[in-house]
Amino acid sequence: AQSVTQPDIHITVSEGASLELRCNYSYGATPYLFWYVQSPGQGLQLLLKYFSGDTLVQGIKGFEAEFKRSQSSFNLRKPSVHWSDAAEYFCAVGPSGGYQKVTFGTGTKLQVIP
């Protein structure tokens, strides 16, 4: 069965500092990987996705993620965090071929301090 682990429940960074959110997955075949962001009381917005090809994926809002098969990881990064990035971030994995049965991690809540 597929699963996703986000080891950090809560992260606090200073505005302007770099950010890395960790995500490890378990999946038997080539996975589809996603990062979503959720602002308080809102739905989820797709930041980026990895299907195949270049393992470094660029997303919206200046985010990027790197797929490392050997480490079963798909960590999200941003070089300089803005106060508006404060939100909850979810990593997700799904089977290749589409979005059936996407499994979400438990999320990482990001707090940005001035």
Is 31 an interacting residue with respect to other proteins (CB under 8 A)?
A: no
Q: Which is nearer to other proteins, 16 or 98 (CB)?
A: 98
Among 25, 76, 93, 105, binds other proteins (CB under 8 A): 105
What the block records as the tokens of 104 is 């979400």
Restricted to residues 72-91, the positions that interact with other proteins (CB under 8 A) are 90
15 vs 49 by CB, closer to other proteins:
49
Question: Do residues 81 and 17 lie in contact, with contact meaning Cβ atoms separated by under 8 Å?
Answer: yes
Tell me the residue type at 43. Answer: G
d(CA 105, CA 79): 23
Stretch that binds other proteins, among 20-28, 43-51, 65-73, 75-83 (CB under 8 A): 43-51
Residue 112 one-letter amino acid: V
Closest CB to other proteins among residues 81, 93: 93
Interface region with other proteins, contact rule CB under 8 A, candidates 14-22, 61-69, 73-81, 101-109: 101-109
Q: Is 98 in the site for other proteins (CB under 8 A)?
A: yes
DSSP code string of 43-103 = -EEEEEEE-SS-SEEE-GGG-EEEEEGGGTEEEEEESS--GGG-EEEEEEEEETTSSTT-E
Residues engaged in binding other proteins (CB under 8 A): 34, 36, 41-46, 49, 51, 90, 98-107
